[in-house]
């Protein structure tokens, strides 16, 4: 029996694991499997990433070069762009992007293309697991038909499950190994095998009734955050007009030990999850003629935040008899959140483009992002500017877009002409507060 043979190989750690997509999700997962004793192949179509990994170099800040070198020395990890080697694997885990297109509808190009590649090399007894965040029904409606097109049948010849990634780059209290892992299979054999595989590397594995439940659970996690962040962003706009500090309000509300969880406003949403994933559910809901008003409204509020910040910058400059057109503006922080090098969907990028469109001369500094790279929708072609007293003072406004811990905010405020703080990073600054404008 194919399932029993695979089960034995997993138990004995003789199963070879292939992970497709060596990004912020796939690379940490490959590290876990290799550390646990599994021979692991990290697949990626980007040959530059493959070369860097095989040379012992990491391109992700929170995974140091030393860890990649240790993996290579163990002999249990290698990176490859040769997808034909998928036939050598016992389990193939798919960790590819699921972006939105220009119409804010799911772009399944990567999932479909990767599944077609897997299907080309699919052999009897393999376990395929989709980890990419997507709408409920993707595994059964999109992935399964492609895999079965060659005549092989799920639960008999191969096994298929969905297990959503829960990576949070830069987080220190939870790791890949300690974050509970959901697993939902197409059938009972698939669920059992996927659970068994992940139990070798993840401390807590939670099986659920189906792949649809696992897909929906991941979406719910991010809808929850999206809606609550939108609520506090909307309150920020209101309290700003009322002359009330929203950050002081949140601190006060947080003293209640039950019935309240603090969420924090910002210049917009960033990262690979919250700005994108909820819209996968709202798109799917339209197929059932069911509106998702909370999701749509939350999206409208959150995507409008960069416009609000630009307005606050313009107002602050205007009060100092300086027009936005022609002003020199420095953006502090290009990453979408503090202490990481991840710029996916970062509101800082949108801010820079909006400010440029309005005639401002814009630079950025980020200790974790030395230069920008081409993205699907953006190509800033910029390099991080080194900070100095004279450099800070040469800008008409300094905008704190990401509150990295590496920044000395007292020093920044002391030498800047004007500071626009979108993250409450200057809360502890005591001198020069007249220069600070909250946004």
Indicate which residues carry an active-site annotation. Answer: 273
Q: How far apart are CA 421 and CA 266, in angstroms?
A: 9
Nearest by Cα to 246 from 238, 255, 257, 258: 238
Element (H, E) at 80: strand 77-80
Q: How far apart are CA 392 and CA 39, in angstroms?
A: 50
Nearest by Cα to 149 from 170, 122, 110: 122
Q: How far apart are CA 162 and CA 135, in angstroms?
A: 11
Hey, how many other C-beta atoms are within 10 angstroms of the C-beta on 351? Answer: 27
Q: How far apart are CA 428 and CA 393, in angstroms?
A: 21
Residues 341, 314: contact at Cβ < 8 Å?
no
φ and ψ of 312, to 5 deg: -65, -40
Cβ neighbours of residue 434 under 8 Å, at least 6 residues apart? none
φ and ψ of 43, to 5 deg: -95, 140
SS (H, E, C) 186-250: CCHHHHHHHHHHHHCCCCCEEECCCHHHHHHHHHHHHHHHHHHHHHHHHHHHHHHHHCCCHHHHH
Find the DSSP H helices in 347-398.
347-357, 389-393
Residues 205, 178: contact at Cβ < 8 Å?
no
Q: How far apart are CA 129 and CA 118, in angstroms?
A: 11
**322-344 per-residue burial string, b: 16 or more CB within 10 A, e: under 16:** bebeebebbbbbbbbbbbbbbbb
Cβ neighbours of residue 392 under 8 Å, at least 6 residues apart? 330, 398, 412, 415, 416
């Amino acid at each position: 029996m194919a399932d029993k043979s695979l089960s034995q190989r997993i138990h004995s750690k003789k199963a070879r694991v292939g992970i497709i997509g060596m990004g912020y999700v796939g690379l940490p997962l490959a590290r876990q499997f290799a550390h646990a004793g599994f021979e692991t192949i990290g697949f990626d179509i980007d040959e530059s990433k493959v070369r860097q990994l095989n040379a012992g170099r990491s391109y992700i800040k929170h995974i140091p070069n030393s860890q990649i070198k240790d993996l290579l020395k163990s002999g249990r990890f290698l990176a490859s762009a040769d997808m034909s080697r998928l036939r050598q694997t016992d389990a193939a885990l798919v960790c590819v992007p699921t972006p939105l297109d220009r119409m804010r509808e799911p772009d399944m190009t990567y999932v479909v293309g990767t599944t077609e590649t897997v299907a080309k090399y699919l052999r009897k007894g393999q376990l395929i697991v989709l980890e990419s965040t997507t709408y409920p029904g993707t595994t059964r409606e999109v992935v399964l038909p492609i895999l079965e097109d060659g005549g092989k049948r799920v639960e008999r010849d191969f096994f298929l499950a969905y297990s959503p990634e829960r990576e949070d780059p830069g987080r220190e209290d939870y790791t890949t190994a300690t974050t509970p892992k959901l697993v939902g299979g197409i059938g009972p054999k698939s669920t059992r095998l996927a659970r068994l595989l992940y139990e070798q590397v993840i401390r807590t594995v939670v099986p659920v009734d189906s792949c649809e439940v696992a897909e929906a659970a991941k979406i719910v996690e991010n809808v929850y955050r999206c809606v609550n962040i939108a609520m506090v962003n909307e309150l920020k706009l209101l309290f700003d007009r009322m002359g009330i500090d929203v950050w002081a309000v949140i601190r006060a509300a947080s003293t209640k030990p039950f019935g309240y969880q603090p969420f924090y406003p910002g210049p917009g949403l960033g990262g690979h999850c919250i700005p994108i994933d909820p819209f996968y559910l709202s798109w799917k809901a339209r197929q059932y003629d069911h509106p998702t008003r909370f999701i749509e409204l939350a999206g409208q509020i959150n995507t409008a935040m960069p416009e609000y910040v630009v307005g606050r910058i313009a107002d602050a400059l205007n009060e100092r008899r300086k027009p936005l057109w022609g002003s020199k503006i420095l953006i502090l922080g290009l990453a979408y959140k503090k202490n990481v090098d991840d710029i996916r969907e970062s509101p800082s990028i949108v801010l820079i483009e909006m400010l440029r469109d309005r005639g401002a001369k814009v630079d950025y500094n980020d200790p974790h992002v030395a230069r920008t790279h081409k993205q699907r929708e953006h190509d800033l072609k910029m390099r991080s500017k080194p900070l100095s007293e004279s450099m800070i003072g040469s800008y008409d406004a300094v905008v704190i877009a990401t509150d990295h811990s590496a920044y000395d905010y007292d020093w920044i405020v002391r030498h800047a002409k004007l500071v626009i703080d979108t993250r409450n990073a200057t809360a502890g600054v005591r001198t020069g507060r007249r220069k600070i404008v909250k946004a």
